[in-house]
């Protein structure tokens, strides 16, 4: 068995349903085997081997039709059609098995064989009648019923007055009537096939439809010749008819698979006019001929001339009607072609050719309604925006097409890959086994790690995947929502991974949504306030600045930690109004301290800035406006940014350069924890390095030489580059002494002072301004 990772490899094939010729080969082999047996058989030997081929051929036809009927990538009407046809193959196969059990060469058809054959004909007609078609009025239904009745009555008259009259003497009534009923049923089936196949909304391949007219036509011919034929002819027909029918059904299914394997899998064109549509007219002509033949024996020459003239007039009218229908067909062909194209566009993504969201949801809903196993993989390309921003949308579109190609090629026939929009894809699986779904998700990730060749570029496209299993009573929307929740969980875990939905995730999402709504109201109702953590000169003990920290006093929950509501603000977009409020309030407070305390007040305030703020085109203007409103100088403001924020594209880089040009100081927060810290110092304007708390913890234990080395290197680096170095998270006197020895001049932490409200902060400022505080 091929693993999901192997199946999801590279390649250029664009297949949705791969043609499987094995059933067709098996059915054709039974026909050839019967022909060989007929040519070399012993005339006095048993005829049972000849009948053995029938059930085998119908089994092959069943598998060929069932293969399309179970493929979720195929449109629902096409699947339903081929499923009914596979059931029809079962009924005909039962009739063939009964014939094998009887193994006789008697005239007619046994009732035990006729009953399953008639049931197969009924299912065949039902399959055609369920194909999409234009809405029929009562008049159109009446016309269809009249056509069927005309053919049925004409066929019954033909069998009654012609075929049964030629039956050999002694033939049982049941076998005669069984053959006649099968023959009439085949004629009616041909009418239904002709009418349904000519529908403008036909979705089954026209060539396959024409091939599928062979089984009922064969049934009509065989039912006649089994009554009036000779012994040798009956034997040939008895043993060859069912294998031929099976081969025709397998060939039609193979033809449909070939069409579905083409890009888009749409029918090759509108159905052509079929000879089955003239069956009602042929029935009238045949009945007229029968009347003439029977009447000619009793009429004189003048009366015969009148009858011949009436027949000629009827023929002229029929010819005129046929020409009119042909003209109408030419007009409708263009309409049918446009309708087929529009339906295809409505259910497929125009860029990648995959199923779109509408078709994906319909297929998922159908599977859930039928209580069949279903799982969904929700796939999102990580950092796809970077590709569009740096290489252009044309390259991004090519990358999406390559991703779609791998999903299409690697998906099993019972899976449905789709593009839901932008860089979001999905795959519908036919399983509810968690391990199987997770294995396929891992295979998708493995396949996407192989570099993509896009023009002259080699691109990597890592993805995050959410896996959701359909539960009892889940709707399509619920399963998709669960997969989306799991996808966000995978993104939060670090991207390039998968996560399977668990019920707790939904509750977390609900809580986050509720918290986001409450945070929105908190900004409006002024429930937020700022605390200030002093930054000290750890050599002199004087206060050098302060970092503004936002807090939330919830009316019912009390103080909500920033670790809970700041990520919610970033996800929901509230970080812009929240960050704007923090910036304005911190600058206002610094201006108030300087106005009240003069030189005793701190000279700068640190404000944390999120990546989303730096991506905002109006952020620089907002900072300039706040400085102007509060009367602060740009040097009084220090904006703290993280390494991940700095690496968030060209827009962020431009914003930082504009802020630095304005005179605002920039601090690189949590320095040392990223992967590109040293390169950032050359690529971006930086004034302050803030050593992350993780390097300060345990710095005095003497066991972690790595922490000591990094902390010492940051201090030396800042000194050589003429930058300020600030040590964060100082919690003991030993840590403070060790940092002084390393050359650090600035520091902050609970050992020196916790975050304070504005009043206590002012008092501490005044105290450190008059006396050196031991830190």
| Residues 108 and 65 sit within 8 Å (Cβ to Cβ) | no
Q: What is the pLDDT of residue 287?
A: 55
Closest CA to 245 of 68, 124, 107: 124
Q: What is the pLDDT of residue 569?
A: 87
Closest CA to 271 of 322, 323, 211: 211
- Summarised one tens digit per residue, pLDDT across range 81-95 is 888 888 888 988 898
More confident: 351 or 217: 351
SS3 of 300, please?
Answer: coil
Closest CA to 248 of 517, 516, 60: 60
More confident: 650 or 302: 650
| Residues 17 and 257 sit within 8 Å (Cβ to Cβ) | yes
Q: What is the pLDDT of residue 589?
A: 96
297: DSSP letter? T
Residue where the block lists tokens 């998700």: 441
Q: What is the pLDDT of residue 300?
A: 58
Q: What is the pLDDT of residue 139?
A: 53
Q: What is the pLDDT of residue 585?
A: 95
**Lowest-pLDDT range, 30-39, 114-123, 460-469, 542-551?**
114-123
**Lowest-pLDDT range, 391-400, 544-553, 760-769?**
760-769
| Residues 577 and 583 sit within 8 Å (Cβ to Cβ) | no
Per-residue pLDDT, averaged over 278-297, amounts to 54
Q: What is the pLDDT of residue 670?
A: 78
Which range scores top for mean pLDDT: 246-260, 278-292, 488-502, 542-556? 542-556
Q: What is the pLDDT of residue 316?
A: 62
User: Is residue 568 over pLDDT 60?
Assistant: yes
Q: Which helix (H) or strand (E) holds 671?
A: strand 665-671
168: DSSP letter? P
| Residues 75 and 144 sit within 8 Å (Cβ to Cβ) | no
- Summarised one tens digit per residue, pLDDT across range 15-28 is 345 667 888 899 88
Which range scores top for mean pLDDT: 36-50, 407-421, 472-486, 705-719? 472-486
**Lowest-pLDDT range, 123-127, 144-148, 344-348, 583-587?**
144-148
* pTM (predicted TM-score): 0.54
Q: What is the pLDDT of residue 126?
A: 80
The dihedral sign for the CA sequence 616, 618, 621, 626: negative
Q: What is the pLDDT of residue 10?
A: 34
More confident: 323 or 211: 211
User: Is residue 12 over pLDDT 50?
Assistant: no
Closest CA to 220 of 184, 246, 256, 192: 184
Q: What is the pLDDT of residue 270?
A: 47
Q: What is the pLDDT of residue 577?
A: 92
Closest CA to 100 of 186, 34, 44, 169: 34
CB atoms within 10 A of CB 320: 10
- Summarised one tens digit per residue, pLDDT across range 158-184 is 555 455 555 555 555 555 555 556 666
Per-residue pLDDT, averaged over 321-332, amounts to 63
Q: What is the pLDDT of residue 154?
A: 60
CB atoms within 10 A of CB 573: 12
Per-chain mean pLDDT for the chain: 79
Q: Which helix (H) or strand (E) holds 550?
A: strand 543-554
For residue 629, what pLDDT band results from cuts at 50, 70 and 90?
very high
Q: In the structure encoding, which two tokens stand for residue 662, read together? A: 């304005």
Pairwise CA distance, residues 175 & 181, whole Å: 10
- pLDDT > 70: percent of the chain: 73
More confident: 758 or 125: 758
- Summarised one tens digit per residue, pLDDT across range 371-416 is 888 999 999 998 888 788 778 888 889 999 999 999 988 888 788 9
| Residues 71 and 17 sit within 8 Å (Cβ to Cβ) | yes
For residue 8, what pLDDT band results from cuts at 50, 70 and 90?
very low
Provide the CA 742 distance to its chain's centre, in angstroms: 57
| Residues 516 and 552 sit within 8 Å (Cβ to Cβ) | no
| Residues 652 and 614 sit within 8 Å (Cβ to Cβ) | yes
For residue 120, what pLDDT band results from cuts at 50, 70 and 90?
confident
The dihedral sign for the CA sequence 187, 192, 197, 199: positive
More confident: 412 or 640: 640
**Lowest-pLDDT range, 36-40, 337-341, 359-363, 591-595?**
337-341
User: Is residue 7 over pLDDT 60?
Assistant: no
Per-residue pLDDT, averaged over 131-136, amounts to 56
Residue ranges of E strands in 124-186:
none
- Summarised one tens digit per residue, pLDDT across range 441-473 is 999 998 888 888 888 788 888 899 999 999 888
Q: What is the pLDDT of residue 85?
A: 84
More confident: 95 or 222: 95
More confident: 331 or 497: 497
| Residues 713 and 752 sit within 8 Å (Cβ to Cβ) | no
SS3 of 762, please?
Answer: helix
SS3 of 668, please?
Answer: strand
Per-residue pLDDT, averaged over 213-227, amounts to 72
User: Is residue 564 over pLDDT 70?
Assistant: yes
* DSSP code per residue over 198-218: T-TT--S-HHHHHHTTHHHHH
Beta bridge mates, 428? 376, 416
- Summarised one tens digit per residue, pLDDT across range 706-748 is 778 888 888 888 888 888 999 999 998 888 988 998 889 999 9
Per-residue pLDDT, averaged over 579-607, amounts to 93
């Amino acid at each position: 068995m091929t693993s999901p990772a192997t199946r999801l490899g590279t390649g250029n094939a664009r297949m949705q349903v791969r043609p499987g010729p094995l059933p067709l080969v098996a059915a054709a082999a039974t026909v050839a085997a019967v022909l060989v047996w007929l040519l070399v058989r012993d005339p006095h030997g048993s005829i049972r081997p000849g009948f053995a081929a029938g059930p085998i051929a119908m089994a092959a036809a069943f598998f060929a039709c069932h293969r399309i009927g179970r493929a979720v990538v195929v449109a629902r009407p096409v699947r339903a059609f081929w499923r009914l046809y596979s059931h029809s193959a079962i009924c005909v196969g039962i009739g063939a098995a009964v014939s094998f059990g009887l193994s006789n060469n008697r005239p007619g058809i046994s009732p035990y064989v006729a009953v399953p054959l008639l049931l197969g004909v009924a299912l065949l007609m039902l399959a055609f009648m369920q194909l999409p078609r234009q809405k029929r009025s009562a008049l159109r239904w009446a016309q269809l019923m009249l056509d069927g009745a005309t053919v049925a009555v004409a066929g019954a008259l033909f069998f009654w007055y012609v075929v049964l009259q030629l039956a050999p003497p002694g033939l049982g009534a049941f076998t005669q009537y069984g053959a006649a009923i099968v023959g009439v049923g085949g004629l009616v089936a041909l009418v239904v096939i002709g009418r349904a196949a000519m529908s403008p909304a036909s979705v089954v391949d026209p060539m396959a439809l024409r091939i599928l007219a062979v089984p009922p036509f064969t049934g009509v011919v065989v039912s006649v010749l089994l009554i009036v034929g000779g012994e040798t002819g009956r034997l040939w027909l008895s043993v060859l008819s069912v294998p031929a029918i099976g081969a025709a059904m397998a060939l039609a299914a193979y033809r449909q698979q070939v069409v579905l394997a083409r890009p888009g899998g749409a029918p090759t064109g509108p159905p052509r006019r079929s000879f089955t549509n003239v069956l009602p007219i042929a029935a009238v002509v045949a009945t007229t001929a029968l009347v003439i033949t029977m009447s000619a024996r009793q009429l004189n020459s003048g009366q015969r001339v009148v009858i011949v003239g009436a027949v000629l007039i009827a023929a002229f009218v029929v010819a005129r009607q046929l020409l009119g229908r042909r003209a109408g067909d030419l007009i409708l062909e263009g309409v049918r072609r446009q309708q087929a194209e529009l339906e295809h566009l409505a259910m497929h993504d125009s860029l990648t050719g995959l199923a779109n969201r509408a078709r994906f949801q319909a297929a998922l809903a159908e599977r859930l309604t039928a209580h069949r196993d279903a799982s969904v993989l929700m796939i999102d390309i990580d950092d796809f925006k970077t590709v569009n921003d740096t290489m252009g949308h044309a390259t991004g579109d090519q990358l999406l097409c390559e991703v779609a190609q791998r999903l299409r090629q690697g998906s099993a026939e019972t899976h449905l890959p789709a593009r839901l929009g932008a860089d979001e894809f999905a795959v519908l699986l036919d399983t509810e086994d968690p391990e199987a779904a997770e294995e396929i998700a891992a295979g998708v990730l493995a396949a996407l790690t192989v570099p993509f060749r896009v023009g002259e570029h080699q691109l990597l496209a890592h993805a995050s995947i959410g896996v959701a299993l359909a539960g009892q009573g889940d709707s399509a929307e619920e399963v998709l929502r669960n997969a989306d929740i799991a996808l966000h969980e995978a993104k939060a875990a670090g991207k390039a991974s998968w996560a399977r939905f668990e019920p707790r995730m939904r509750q977390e999402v609900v809580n986050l949504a509720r918290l986001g709504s409450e945070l929105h109201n908190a900004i409006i109702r002024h429930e937020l306030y700022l605390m200030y953590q002093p930054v000290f000169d750890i050599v002199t003990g004087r206060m050098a600045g302060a970092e503004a920290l936002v807090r939330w006093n919830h009316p019912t929950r009390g103080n909500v930690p920033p670790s809970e509501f700041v990520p919610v603000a970033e996800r929901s977009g509230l970080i812009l109004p929240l960050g704007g409020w923090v910036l304005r309030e911190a600058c206002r407070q610094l201006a108030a301290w300087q106005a009240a305390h003069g030189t005793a007040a701190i000279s700068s305030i640190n404000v944390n800035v999120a990546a989303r703020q730096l991506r905002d085109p109006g952020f620089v203007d907002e900072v300039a406006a706040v400085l102007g409103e509060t009367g602060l100088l740009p040097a009084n403001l220090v904006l703290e940014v993280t390494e991940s924020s700095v690496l968030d594209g060209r827009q962020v880089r431009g914003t930082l350069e504009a802020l630095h040009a304005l005179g605002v100081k920039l601090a690189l927060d949590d320095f040392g924890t990223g992967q590109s810290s040293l390169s950032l110092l050359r690529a971006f304007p930086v004034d302050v390095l803030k050593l992350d708390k993780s390097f300060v913890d345990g710095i005095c234990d003497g066991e972690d030489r790595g922490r000591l080395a990094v902390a010492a290197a940051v201090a030396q680096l800042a000194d050589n580059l003429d930058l300020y170095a600030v040590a964060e998270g100082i919690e003991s006197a030993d840590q403070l002494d060790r940092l002084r020895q390393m050359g650090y001049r600035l520091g902050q932490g609970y050992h020196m002072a916790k975050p304070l409200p504005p009043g206590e902060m002012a008092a501490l400022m005044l105290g450190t301004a008059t006396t050196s505080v031991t830190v």
